[in-house]
């Protein structure tokens, strides 16, 4: 494995840091408090090229390889304090753009990818249902063949970007008796008769990223909006999840680096009992643990990106990275609060927000328990 970076990659990383530091951190405490999504920040990221990182230039993207894209998202996590914004962008990149790029027809790619990359439209990914979460293939949304298309009926829940989405990649079953082999993917645009979304559902963390339901009531979708072949939905979902689990927490690694830097500065400046608190072993040990978690998380992510770039399977490594990085971010966020003491518990000091945001990482894109199940299964247990 070779994780050495070219001059161009490092310069691009620095440009992301400078852009985000200058443009994306305004009013984050207030927007987090009120759960406000910033369309302006989303569009700024699009103009910079963030959403288009992994998309070929012919479809409006930057055509970056996965290692470069991951490095850029790590830089964004380091310099942008709006974890919800980064999460929403990741959800679109890996769960909407990637499946359209890999499985879409030329017409579908040309119709949706340039507008997703430019920020003109926002995408959502509908898989989870009220009675189908970790057991993903037990979904109930029915896609009944009807004329030259399909009639969709059912509800998707806990959908990132749902309340603001202009287009959604949605999974339904054409025949429940076929199990996973009946699952089929569709591209559905906002404004389609019978398709609606719910209000923003308030949550513990990642509050600036809207989440809600997608509702289908006799929603007719023409065959040209089917994504991939009929019955290929499970394969499409697995492909997007491998990429999402590999990349969605790159921002968390960047945030962990910023978090460690803030804690180091505080531990040096804060004095108690006549010395800086970093001199006390209880504080210095926490800082050491944070550093070990950061570097371990970074290496796991880079390995996954290297495997994917090399054309190798990364299902096991992606599950390992998703499990470890999400859990490490939670633990380091707890350590950050303890290092800051009472100030770490106060909203205005912007330490406790990371913990609230980090906990979501143990749930979305497959819970930590599901990642352990995947790892065990791939080990042959």
Cα distances (angstroms) measured from residue 259 to each of 207, 280, 335, 350: 19, 19, 10, 10
Q: Where in the chain is the domain with CATH 1.10.540.10?
A: 7-122
Contact 174/152 with Cβ under 8 angstroms? no
Percent of the chain with pLDDT over 90: 89
Q: How far apart are CA 291 and CA 364, in angstroms?
A: 25
What is the CATH superfamily name and number for domain 124-231?
Answer: Butyryl-CoA Dehydrogenase, subunit A, domain 2 (2.40.110.10)
- Cα–Cα separations (whole angstroms), residue 10 to 4, 13, 71, 305: 10, 5, 9, 16
Span 272-281, average pLDDT? 97
Active site residues: 244
Looking at residue 313, what is its pLDDT?
86
Domain with CATH 1.20.140.10 in the chain: 249-378
Q: Which two tokens stand for residue 348?
A: 């205005």
Mean pLDDT of 103-107: 98
- The DSSP line for 102-141 is HHS-HHHHHHHHHHHHHTSS-EEEE--BTTBSSSGGG---
Alpha helices in the chain (DSSP H): 7-23, 28-34, 39-48, 66-79, 83-92, 98-103, 106-118, 233-247, 250-269, 281-309, 315-340, 352-360, 368-378
- Residue-level pLDDT at 135: 74
User: pLDDT tens digit string along 245-274?
Assistant: 778 899 999 999 999 999 999 999 999 999
- CATH H-level superfamily of 249-378: Butyryl-CoA Dehydrogenase, subunit A, domain 3 (1.20.140.10)
Over residues 195-247, the pLDDT tens digits come to 999 999 999 999 999 999 999 999 999 999 999 999 999 999 988 887 787 78
For the segment(s) 7-122, the CATH number from 1.10.1020.10, 3.30.1370.140, 1.10.443.10, 1.10.540.10 is 1.10.540.10
Q: How far is CA 292 from the centre of its chain?
A: 23
């Amino acid at each position: 494995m070779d994780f050495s970076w070219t001059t161009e990659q490092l310069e691009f990383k620095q440009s992301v840091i400078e852009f985000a530091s200058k443009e994306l951190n305004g009013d984050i405490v207030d927007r987090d408090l009120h759960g406000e999504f910033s369309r302006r920040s989303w569009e700024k990221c699009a103009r910079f090229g963030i959403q288009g990182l992994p998309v070929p230039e012919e479809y409006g993207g930057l055509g970056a390889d996965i290692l470069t894209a991951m490095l850029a998202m790590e830089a964004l996590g380091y310099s942008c304090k709006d974890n919800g914004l980064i999460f929403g962008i990741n959800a679109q990149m890996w769960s909407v753009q990637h499946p359209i790029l890999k499985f879409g027809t030329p017409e579908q790619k040309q119709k949706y990818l340039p507008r997703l990359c430019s920020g003109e439209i926002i995408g959502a990914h509908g898989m989870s249902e009220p009675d189908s979460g970790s057991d993903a293939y037990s979904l109930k949304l029915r896609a009944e063949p009807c004329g030259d298309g399909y009639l969709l009926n059912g509800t998707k829940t806990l959908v990132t970007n749902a309340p603001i989405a202009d287009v959604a990649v949605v999974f339904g079953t054409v025949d429940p008796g076929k199990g996973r082999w009946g699952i089929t993917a569709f591209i559905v645009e906002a404004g389609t008769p019978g398709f609606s979304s719910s209000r923003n559902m308030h949550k513990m963390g990642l509050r600036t990223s809207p989440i809600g339901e997608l509702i289908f009531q006799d929603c007719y979708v023409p065959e040209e909006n089917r994504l991939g072949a009929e019955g290929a939905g499970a394969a499409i979902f697995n492909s997007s999840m491998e990429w999402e689990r590999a990349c969605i927490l790159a921002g968390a690694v960047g945030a962990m680096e910023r978090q460690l830097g803030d804690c180091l500065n505080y531990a040096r400046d804060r004095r108690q009992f006549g010395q800086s608190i970093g001199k006390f072993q209880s504080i210095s040990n926490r800082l050491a643990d944070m550093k070990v978690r950061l570097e371990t998380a970074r290496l796991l992510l880079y390995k996954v990106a290297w495997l994917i770039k090399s054309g190798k399977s990364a299902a096991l490594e992606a599950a390992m990275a998703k499990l470890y990085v999400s859990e490490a971010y939670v633990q380091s966020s707890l350590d950050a609060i303890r290092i800051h003491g009472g100030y770490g518990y106060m909203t205005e000091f912007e330490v406790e927000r990371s913990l609230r945001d980090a906990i979501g990482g143990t749930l979305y894109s497959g819970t930590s328990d599901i990642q352990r199940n995947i790892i065990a299964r791939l080990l042959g247990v």
